[in-house]
Chains A and B, each alone.
Chain A
Amino acid sequence: MSERQTILEVKDLQTSFFTDDGVIPSVDHIDFHVREGEILGIVGESGCGKSVTSLSIMGLVPSPPGKITSGQILFEGKDLTKFSEKEMRKVRGNDVAMIFQEPMTSLNPLFTIGNQLLEAITLHKKDWNKKKAKARAIEMLKLVGLPRAEELMNDYPHQLSGGMRQRVMIAMALVCDPKLLIADEPTTALDVTIQAQILKLMRELNERLNTAVILITHDLGVVAETCERVVVMYAGKVVEEGTVDTIFNNPQHPYTKGLIASVPDMRYKKQRLYSIPGSVPKPGSIKQGCRFAARCEFVVGRCTEENPPLYETAEGHKTRCFLYDEKEVLQDDRAAVKS
């Protein structure tokens, strides 16, 4: 597995928003990478910075007030943060594509599906003639499992259902064979049966086209069923990273543990759900120490003073928690966390 090449590497990325209340880092020095052909999940609750991360990669952070204040985003070795707007435009849609949560608002209601698909093709494939572009558009619509693709080219977005619109969005994103697809909550607005269709489609396309996918979601079930590796974010920081199996079977960070325990499981009835006390801190409100300290059951004095680094506890499994600082932690404390 390790021979697979890394196609995207996010290094020490910080994206801040310059507001009247001061500079607020929404994404605060995060590191992660995506390898060829893998599906990486980024999970977290609202305000944890998962969407800002994806917008930063795409160079779509609204500026002002947002700005990438430090770090690098290396896509195939080239730093995207150094790219000009013109250069970025070539990357977007061609190398890296994105699909959004609301298929309703991300399609232009005034243009036909065909028109919008062709726009993406003609922008990036300047040497293609009309006929070739149209054939490609129809081919993509068929690929994402839409019936009567030819007629659909002349339909307007309002004539399609939510699930069909999301399929069109996926077709549009994949039209130029991107190497990386960023999907920001692609199924949140859809019903369960439609969500199952779209997730299945994304897994199939990932296998067939070998497109790497970053799947951003708040739904742990979606992550467990779709992703290979997971990054858990909390209040702008990566708190845990590992393969799907390790994250769900052996979660280490107290936040990850709490999050998994709070999901009601459909398969059996728990007497009572575990719940993490308190609520997510306002971005920028915690200046010092671990951001989860105020809600953590295992908090020690050090947690409120220092910011814990990411400890590598096993190969490919990283946790941002002092409990995993080998030297300092007493054995019985560790046992308490494990139980």
Chain B
Amino acid sequence: MTEPLLKVEGLKKYFPIRTGMLGKHTGNVKAVDDISFFVNEGETLGIVGESGCGKSTTGRMLMRLLEPTEGKVTFNGKELTSISNDEMRKARREIQMVFQDPYASLNPRHTIEKILMEPLIVHNIGDPKSRKKKVHDFLEIVGLSSYHAKRYPHQFSGGQRQRIGIARALMTNPKLIIADEPVSALDVSIQAQVLNLMQDLQKELKLTYIFIAHDLGVVRHISDRVGVMYLGRMVELATSESMYAEPLHPYTKALLSAVPVPDPEFKREQIILEGDIPSPSNPPSGCTFHTRCPFKMDICVKDVPQLQEAKTGHFVACHLYNEQLQH
């Protein structure tokens, strides 16, 4: 087997809680708590979960926009977590990010040309003339026109702005793109356009995506493999076919059954979870899902379930599958 493009091992991010005038360290918000996964070249890994599950924090740590508390990130054979900030800046040429809010992620005072040229200047790629040509080429690639280069972000619609965000991420010819909720701020008809564009670009430019989203339909559509996160932990990781056809973790089952399906004739047993997501500053003991789980056992309160392979390529962190695995 070839080495995966990106490998994440035991990644953790604890945000300290400080109280009082002296800022005494009184606890931690465990935003991401010991997750491991890998991404192969050319595939799309979807990461889903509800708000506060740590999916965005994970995305940011991969680029070291946030420093991980613990854990190792290896990209293309290079360990990103141990290199200096200077080297990391160079490494970002190969890993780029697309953000959720196309309003907030483009500088309103710069023209599109300036915005798109900046990554080239930062990474010292090409000369002014070739940079300009590249800007125009990429505008065409994402479905805009070269005359748009002289305009400002406010002159574009949400969908067009997201196209610009994607073009900016592509300027340095990256291998990996981390897209954090790239379509959730867009209307349905525009969302479909952007998803199609991302798929086309992946084929053409042989990109690898980490696609972070809360919309399970969108994630299924774009991903080869999907990871489900709950309260800072990865609870299930499988190919998207296997995950959606036969979810194993009780949380994934509930999550999938809660998604409204646009077909009035589609009937199914809905599992409606009781209560809310517990606070990550004081997560439940053992399996963090046990407070809402319909299949809770004694062991769930005590032991943290580990992610184990229940079927080929289908990993789940749940004590229900312990026995099955021992046989």
Contacts and interface: CB of A to CB of B under 8 A. Distances in A.
Contacts of B199: 272
Contacts of B191: 262
A10 interface: no
- Chain A interface SS verdict (over half): helix
A267 B187 contact: no
A199 B214 CA distance: 18
Contacts of B188: 45, 218, 220, 259, 262-263
B290 to A, nearest CB: 15
Nearest to B218: A264
The residue in B188, B196, B215, B220 that gathers the most chain A C-beta atoms within 10 A of its C-beta is B188
B195 A245 contact: no
A275 B189 contact: yes
A221 B261 contact: yes
Given A192-B50, A196-B272, A245-B264, A45 B192 contact: no
Interface stretch (B62-70, B252-260, B293-301): B252-260
Interface in A180-203: 191-197, 199-200
A35 to B, nearest CB: 18
B17 to A, nearest CB: 17
A335 B241 CA distance: 35
Given A193-B254, A221-B260, A265-B217, A259 B189 contact: yes
Contacts of A194: 50, 276
Contact of B272 (A200, A223, A265): A200
B87 interface: no
B270 interface: yes
B265 A249 contact: yes
Contacts of A263: 188, 192, 217, 262
Interface residues of A, number: 46
Contact of B221 (A220, A225, A264): A264
Contacts of A276: 189, 192-193
Kindly state the interface size class of chain B when it binds its partner. Answer: 35 or more
- Chain B interface SS verdict (over half): helix
A152 interface: no
A52 to B, nearest CB: 17
A277 B196 CA distance: 12
Interface string A125-136: 000000000000
Contacts of B214: 191-192
A234 B217 CA distance: 24
Interface in B41-73: 50-51
A266 B259 contact: yes
Nearest to A191: B50
A248 B220 contact: no
A275 B196 contact: yes
Contacts of A262: 188-189, 191-192
B276 A269 contact: no
30 contacts: A45-B189, A45-B190, A191-B51, A192-B50, A192-B216, A193-B254, A196-B270, A197-B273, A200-B270, A220-B262, A221-B261, A222-B260, A223-B262, A224-B260, A224-B263, A259-B188, A259-B189, A263-B188, A263-B262, A264-B215, A264-B221, A264-B222, A265-B217, A265-B261, A266-B261, A267-B244, A269-B241, A272-B199, A279-B157, A280-B187
Query: Top 6 A-B pairs ranked by shortest CB distance?
Result: A221-B260, A262-B192, A264-B221, A196-B258, A275-B192, A191-B50
